[in-house]
Amino acid sequence: MLSFKCKNCGAEMSVDVSGNLFCEYCGTKAAFSDKELLQYRDFRKRMLEYLRSSREVRENRESKDDYLWSMAEPAFFKTKEGQEIRINHIYTSSEPGITMYLAREAVLYHYTSGHLLDAQKSESMVRQMNFPEADVRNLRGVVPEFLSKYELDDGSVLLPIRRPQDVFPLAMFSCLDPRDVAWIISRMENICCLLEYSNMGHGGIDTEHFFINPFTHQGMLYGGWHLAGRKAVKPDLVAIRTTAKKLLGQNPEGMNEPFEKFLNTDPADSAFDDFARWDQVIETGFGGRRFHDMEVKL
């Protein structure tokens, strides 16, 4: 519902001790009203409590889910048949001609009338994805599952995709622990291998298009499919490094030399080769794969 993006680099901004907005990634500063500040802090507090509930029993976590979604705001649309659609959402982001709404059971993409081809291409590129036969069940969930399609009265289109519980845009998180950024990179690398297996490049991996489940450490590439095509995956591997640096913020604590070298080295030409390099970083820099609860700062 509340999100303040840096106008310089696009990262989500944090609130410093003086009550100003501060970009941990590039250092840009901004200010907002007292009312906006109170709303922002209240939402972040609820989000933090929700994430901490991963350590609690399921029933208590569901009550925290209700607590978080009580801050949802509505957006209204009308189909060309006159049916009214209300989207209660806690987060939204925009790019030219496309707006994303995070609702409780769906992620909805609204394409303006001038971007209908982007909607068609998004559906088409997802349908063209190929999955290794042995991993079909595990991998289908990393790309959008389109639920329906609504043609609206103004000529625009609304495409909802299924949102599993506890899945959020990566842009809602910032200044993460290197261990958390590490498992996120693992998911991105895995998806890039799937893209290469499908002879495809995505072209839009970033914090707005990539989603995570912070409890189960799953990752999904839901947005940006209008940018995909039959092209090399190497730019996506570069985007993984750029996104990771943005998530870490300035001067992150707990960095190790293999991880830092990986982020500042050109990727391999192949996603599979790059993933092999990343596996070495996991072993030498983090001592292997170990699950831990995700830590999120206010």
DSSP letters, 62-80, are HHHHHHHHTT-EEEEEEBT
Please count the residues of the chain.
298
**Burial letters 219-236, b for 16+ CB under 10 A, else e:** bbbbbbbbbbeeebbbeb
* 137-161: average pLDDT: 93
Comparing C-alpha atoms, which of 139, 148, 117 is closest to residue 227? Answer: 117
Query: Which residue segments constitute the domains of the chain, with CATH numbers given?
Result: 14-69 (no CATH), 73-162 (3.30.200), 169-286 (1.10.510)
Write the CA distances from 137 to 45, 214, 216, integer angstroms: 35, 20, 16
Dump the DSSP string for 43-56. HHHHHHHHHHGGGS
Amino acid at 110: H
pLDDT for the residue numbered 17: 42
Comparing C-alpha atoms, which of 103, 93, 98 is closest to residue 69? Answer: 103
Write the CA distances from 247 to 46, 187, 205, 239, 283, integer angstroms: 20, 15, 13, 12, 21
Give the range among 111-115, 168-172, 246-250 with minimum mean pLDDT: 246-250
Query: From the centroid of its chain, how far is CA 132?
Result: 24
With cut-offs at 50, 70 and 90, classify the pLDDT of residue 146.
Answer: very high
- Whether residue 27 is predicted with pLDDT greater than 90 in this model: the reply is no
pLDDT cut 90: percent of the chain above it: 59
Report pTM. Answer: 0.84
Residues 259 and 200: beta-carbon distance below 8 Å: no
